[in-house]
Structure 1
Amino acid sequence: MNAAEAALSGALASPGVMGVSLVDAVTGLHYAAVGDTDALGEGDELAETVALIGDRLNQAGAVGELESVVVTSARFHHITTVVPRGQDPLLLCATADRDRTNLALVMRHLADQAKAVLT
């Protein structure tokens, strides 16, 4: 198991988290995934969504980089955290069961695991 898979497995340990993946923010390429990968969605769709939100924030005058995006459906939280890596950022994406998840706790845990991905 490489460092990325180990970090993703750590993120999967949060209560209610069903699947976690590491995606290239520019190309949508999946580097690693653990858990229920069907629940995660396609990497290129995630990258496009984050890019669109970042562009809209910049147009609205928001200064700084996008840190995370949370999309909540009736059953799931889809959480995407940007992992800065020079000019080529990564996306740490997780899907969590809405009924079994403390969203704030999962987001904090994902932020900790995002640091571990780069080591």
Structure 2
Amino acid sequence: MALAANGYIRRLTRRLTEDIDQLDAEELAQSVEATGAQRACDCRHGEEVTMRGRLRSVESCAQSANATVRAELFDGTDPVTLVWIGRRRIPGIETGKQLLVRGRLGDRDGQKVIYNPYYELLGDS
């Protein structure tokens, strides 16, 4: 019983003293692993990937010739930029939403990117 109490106190102390963003990233990475999705840090350019994560940012570029929606998906390990070409807005694609995405991982200016990914909305964070 005392051993379990020590473990609880240790976890509680860690939660109260560590960086909130770091804890959030760790929890997100663990939940992604539990679903069987690939971790962004393990994926390489050119691979077909299935990832799960939370949208950290969403922006729309509504120029008539180059309409795009860009979002940053974070799974707790690495960010991946999602780009939907030819779209001005996508209902449900909002900061804080969780997604499951599938597509071919590319590279844009040294960053991981997936163009026109298939996606499923999974709910709020």
Q: TM-score, normalised by structure 2?
A: 0.29
Q: Quick check: which one's strand share is greater?
A: 2
Higher relative contact order (CA 8 A, sep 6+): 1
Bigger-Rg structure (1/2): 2
- Greater share of residues in helix: 1
Q: TM-score, normalised by structure 1?
A: 0.30
